[in-house]
Amino acid sequence: MLKVIKMIVNDKEVELAVDEREALVDTLRDRLGLTSVKKGCEVGECGACTVLVDGEAIDSCIYLTMWAEGRRILTVEGLKGPNGELSPIQQAFIDEAAVQCGFCTPGLIMTAVEIVGTGKKYNREELRKMISGHLCRCTGYENILNAMERIVEETYKVVGEE
């Protein structure tokens, strides 16, 4: 059965008729063309499909689109600046060589956005636990953790100075 829903995706209002069984990952990728959202395991185990829903990182493969009614969805495409520049989090991933094949990267970046959004400072072990829902087969996680430590530290300094 189809249901018409409204949601805000990357700061743009979207209205769609969706099947009640449609996963948010399918809506974002196939219907809205937001290909940063990757289909990995499709059971909420790998984190490749991570997006933010009202600021909270979720696995969009196990989140029904109809649950997004009235919510704000953010994907990597929504992080770019007004002139297309990368966000500080994306830049940290590049600077720290935290990207290899790139399949897991968008989900990890979205989790980093949630982490940074808390305004709290986390140590490496805490960050390791916070990304434990992400599967990366290439990097060994060390450079990913370096990028996350860097952006958390930079953000914490800014927040702490206010």
pLDDT at 13 over 90: yes
- Per-residue confidence at 40, pLDDT binned at 50, 70, 90? very high
**SS3 label, residue 113:** helix
- 2-78 has which CATH code? 3.10.20.30
The predicted structure's pLDDT at residue 158:
63
What are the CA-CA distances from residue 128 to residues 4, 102, 132 (Å)?
39, 19, 6
pLDDT digit string (tens) for 120-150?
999 999 999 999 999 998 888 999 999 999 9
Domain ranges within the chain, ordered by starting residue: 2-78, 88-161
Threshold 0.95, pTM exceeds:
no
The predicted structure's pLDDT at residue 140:
83
- Per-residue confidence at 159, pLDDT binned at 50, 70, 90? low
pLDDT at 118 over 80: yes
User: Are domains 2-78 and 88-161 of this chain identical in fold?
Assistant: no
pLDDT at 102 over 80: yes
Place of tokens 């636990």: 129
Kindly report the number of other CB atoms within 10 A of residue 126's CB atom: 12
The predicted structure's pLDDT at residue 152:
92
Cβ–Cβ < 8 Å for 6, 21: no
Which CATH superfamily does the domain covering 88-161 fall into? [2Fe-2S]-binding domain (1.10.150.120)
